[in-house]
């Protein structure tokens, strides 16, 4: 039987399927951890005028491919904002947490404010079928900013120039629930660390957290990322990427990381 989701709900637990394994080892992938935490905070907000504006995910320790439990707390519920914390535990140990900020939408002020201009490559052509039931389509761009290449960018990103990616989830997060636009953006934002910290010698960092900020929810199924900055010193690095949907920029991804040399690049994850 083909698995269609990363988690199956079982009472108060979320049981990872085999799709949840990360590319770096026998642990749950960070984007699915972030997605489940994002889903948890989003479920605490029933006001459609509250915009999910920021989610910070702390990856505290490796998460085994075993059941996890979720808890949420509404920290602040005001007229113009709601702040929600979420906690993921495994075997009664805290393994990850998140803080989500929701802001009330209102009439926007028409003004011109400076920002860094960033142009994304075109969204990849749709595939009729996803090879091997891959959980994500990922098209990487670096040395070839037009055609790019499928996969995580091992070849495309081993240089000192700007890097780009378009990502599309092909599976569901929990059972048969459709992915919400917010959850889709949260899961894609986990790519920020690899995109911004990958250099001429490959990926020499492992991220401890990541943050996604959104001025609006994405439209469509593709989320784009464009590396904007990477700064590092004494084994600590921070990177920022601009996030896009099919109509333009929607926010930013930020990832802080520690030097961790010796990564073996994972196999390509894209339809062929």
Which residues face 239 on adjacent strands? Answer: 230, 255
Confidence of residue 266 (pLDDT cuts 50, 70, 90): low
* 3-state SS string for 111-123: CCCCCCCCCCCCC
Class of domain 5-105+119-259: mainly beta
**Measured between alpha carbons, how far is 208 from 260 in angstroms, rounded to an integer?**
11
Query: What residues does each domain of the chain span?
Result: 5-105+119-259
> What is the pLDDT, as a whole number, of residue 1?
59
**Measured between alpha carbons, how far is 112 from 119 in angstroms, rounded to an integer?**
19
Q: Does 99 score more than 90 pLDDT?
A: yes
Q: What is the mean pLDDT of the chain?
A: 90
> What is the pLDDT, as a whole number, of residue 125?
81
What tens digit of pLDDT does each residue of 9-66 get? Answer: 999 999 999 999 877 678 999 999 999 999 999 999 999 999 999 999 999 999 999 9
Q: Does 264 score more than 70 pLDDT?
A: no
Give the pLDDT mean for 153-175: 89
Confidence of residue 135 (pLDDT cuts 50, 70, 90): confident
Confidence of residue 271 (pLDDT cuts 50, 70, 90): very low
- Cα atoms found within 13 Å of the Cα of residue 8, Cβ hemisphere only: 9
The residue among 124, 106, 125, 13 whose CA lies nearest residue 65 is 13
Confidence of residue 268 (pLDDT cuts 50, 70, 90): very low
Confidence of residue 270 (pLDDT cuts 50, 70, 90): very low
pTM: 0.92
**Measured between alpha carbons, how far is 129 from 134 in angstroms, rounded to an integer?**
10
Count CB-CB contacts under 10 A for residue 145. Answer: 15
> What is the pLDDT, as a whole number, of residue 154?
73
Exposure b/e, 98-120, CB count within 10 A at least 16 = b: bbbbbbeeeeeeeeeeeeeebeb
**Measured between alpha carbons, how far is 208 from 210 in angstroms, rounded to an integer?**
7
By the 8 A CB rule, do 83 and 100 touch? Answer: yes
**Measured between alpha carbons, how far is 179 from 169 in angstroms, rounded to an integer?**
9
> What is the pLDDT, as a whole number, of residue 159?
86
């Amino acid at each position: 039987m083909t698995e269609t989701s990363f988690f199956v709900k079982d009472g108060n637990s979320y049981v990872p399927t085999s799709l949840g394994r990360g590319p770096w080892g026998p642990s749950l992938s960070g984007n699915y951890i972030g997605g489940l935490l994002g889903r948890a905070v989003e479920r605490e907000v029933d006001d459609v005028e509250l915009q999910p504006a920021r989610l910070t995910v702390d990856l505290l320790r490796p998460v085994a491919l075993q059941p996890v439990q979720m808890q949420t707390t509404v920290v602040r519920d005001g007229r113009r904002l709601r702040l929600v914390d979420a906690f993921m535990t495994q075997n009664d140990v805290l393994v990850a947490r998140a803080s989500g900020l929701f802001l009330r939408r209102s009439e926007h002020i028409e003004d011109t404010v400076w920002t860094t201009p960033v142009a994304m490559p075109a969204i990849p052509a749709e595939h009729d079928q996803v090879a091997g039931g891959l959980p994500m389509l990922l098209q990487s761009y670096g040395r070839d900013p037009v055609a790019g290449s499928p996969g995580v960018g091992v070849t495309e990103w081993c240089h000192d120039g700007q890097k780009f990616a378009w990502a599309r989830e092909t599976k569901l997060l929990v059972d048969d629930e459709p992915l919400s636009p917010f959850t889709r953006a949260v899961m894609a934002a986990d790519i920020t660390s690899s995109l911004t910290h990958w250099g001429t010698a490959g990926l020499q960092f492992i991220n401890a957290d990541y943050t996604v900020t959104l001025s609006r929810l994405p439209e469509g199924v593709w989320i784009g990322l464009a590396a904007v900055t990477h700064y590092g010193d004494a084994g600590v690095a921070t990177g920022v990427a601009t996030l896009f949907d099919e109509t333009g920029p929607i926010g930013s991804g930020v990832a802080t990381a520690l030097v961790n040399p010796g990564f073996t690049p994972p196999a390509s994850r894209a339809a062929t």
